[in-house]
Chains A and B, each alone.
Chain A
Amino acid sequence: MRARSRDDFRHLLLLLPAGIVFAAFFLVPLGQLFLIGGSGKSGYAGYADILVHPKYLRSLVSTLALAAATTVATLLLSTTAGLFLVRNAFPGRALLVAMLTLPLAFPGVVIGFMVIMLAGRQGLIGDVTQALTGEKLVFAYSMAGLFMGYVYFSVPRTVLTIMASAEKLDPRLEEAARSLGASRLRVLADVILPGLKPALLAAGAICFATAMGAFGTAFTLATRIDVLPMTIYTEFTLQANIAVAAALSFVLGAVTWAALALARTASGATVAAAG
């Protein structure tokens, strides 16, 4: 009994430093953010104003749409490539995996620059389209460029998650289905994809949360793209509208946190970086 309470005390002591830092610099500031979000002209109704005011509502809706499109595109691309890499052995496979996962920890600003290299004024896509059609395609500084950047950001980690999960699928299930005469597509739809479901959910939620909250890529590409993080930034710095910026940030944080928490309970997997 005494040993036990000594252990309790020791554990408390070891957890305390992290707890204090976390409370002082995360919990208290988030609480403060919530209070300030309610300190505008209309008080806590300011949170509801976000949904009424056309400017903020538009920003919220376009951010949600962008995040959803990013998630769908990333899952499609990554699942196709990830399944292929797990299920086939061929020379150069390791190199291909390394290429697909290299940008894993590139920050958003650098990814913005990668989009400029591809689709900017001096970009490669522009060069190719000019050679083919005579017209230069430049879309880096728009919603399409941002979409491309977020897909670029999310593909490496999603490919890794899908591959890890696909490696653990039981090949006997597939063999059984094949031997019973199921076509390739049926096997994919009825055996493989259901087996990957937890990984797809977890990776999808991370894509979604990242695309909602990422700031660096949008900041690099254009301060005029109307997504929530840019709206928050301009409200805060240019308009000095701190109450609105705080309310929007709090709502944004709540949405991304909820998306990740939901997917985690549904899949039992871990969260990863929102960058």
Chain B
Amino acid sequence: MRGRGIAFHLQLAFTLLLASFLIVPVLASMLAGVTANYLSGVAGGLTLRWLGEVWSGYAGQVVSSLGLGLACLACTLVLGVPAAYVLARRQGHVARMIEELLVMPVAVPGLATALALIVTYGTWGDFRTSWSFILVGHVLFTLPFMVRSVLAVMAAIDLKTLEEGAASLGATFGQRFLGVVLPNARPGIVAGALMVLTLSVGEFNMTWLLHTPLTKTLPVGLADAYASLRLEVASAYTLLFFVMIVPLLVAMQLLSKPLGSGRRQDR
């Protein structure tokens, strides 16, 4: 091996700089969440006071966000997995058009979707003020990710032959779907589920318009904290959010490796 040239070192320095741009504020905010006074730095002492304050003030929103995320996951599983199955089995133009339509809520900004929901259903009092109003928004936004993720895996296996084999042995459609289709699509379902949970827990663009004083989620609380509370408390709240979201992100990265990055783009 010959020595690395100057070009290598320049590019390395550049990449390191870019990585620090992304990571340094995360670390700074995590640190600020546990320092007594951010201005005087770590020397001023570490404290769990801010985290305690956030927890006592906002624990309800954390629990709500998790509950909402799980409800959203249940909905996307029930709606998305059967839809992905049909889209995988069907090759025609109609199926591709339906696929295009189903992923539209990702291409349209959440603000526009939320406004559309409000002008259509905003006058339905009980619905407007309930958690299901936010849930509807989250399901719309996350469903495409579930469908795409499951569809990518289903398209890579020969579902038709597998199903015909099972049918020739006398399996009913229900048995085939539960015993053959779902187990084979499992990697896609797991990846989609992690994505749905992550996105739902962090969703703000729609939720800010859809929420009411009685239906607040974690990101809504974060925005409140950023606007009105001192930097240390806002940081502690962000830290709490990181604790929830980073395990999901890491799990997603670990899962995506054995699947290979190339497969998804085949569609």
Contacts and interface: CB of A to CB of B under 8 A. Distances in A.
B265 A110 contact: no
B19 to A, nearest CB: 4
Contacts of A245: 115
Interface residues on B, range: 35 or more
B107 A26 contact: no
A105 B205 contact: no
B97 interface: no
Q: Is the interface of A mostly helix, strand, loop or mixed?
A: helix
Interface in A143-162: 152, 155-156, 160
Contact of A106 (B98, B104, B202): B202
A54 interface: no
A207 interface: no
B173 A10 contact: yes
B112 A33 contact: yes
B265 A164 contact: yes
Contact of B90 (A11, A36, A77): A11
Contacts of B90: 11
A52 interface: no
Q: Is the interface of B mostly helix, strand, loop or mixed?
A: helix
A274 B106 contact: yes
A215 interface: yes
B67 to A, nearest CB: 18
Contact of A271 (B23, B107, B209): B107
B86 A11 contact: yes
B68 interface: no
B83 interface: yes
Contacts of A21: 79, 136, 139-140, 143
A99 B238 contact: no
A112 B205 contact: no
A113 B238 contact: yes
B71 interface: no
B109 A152 contact: no
A271 B149 CA distance: 12
Interface stretch (B43-51, B55-63, B117-125, B184-192): B117-125
Contacts of A44: none
A256 B78 CA distance: 29
Contacts of B82: 14-15, 17-18
A232 B16 CA distance: 38
B219 A88 contact: no
Contact of A14 (B25, B83, B136, B267): B83
Contacts of A253: 107-109, 112-113
Contacts of B231: 122
Nearest to B224: A109
Nearest to A159: B18
Interface string A1-38: 00000000011001101110110011111101100100
- Shortest Cβ-Cβ A-B pairs, 7 listed: A213-B109, A29-B116, A107-B202, A249-B112, A14-B82, A164-B261, A114-B25
Given A81-B19, A110-B202, A232-B115, 5 more contacts: A81-B15, A88-B12, A184-B7, A215-B205, A256-B109
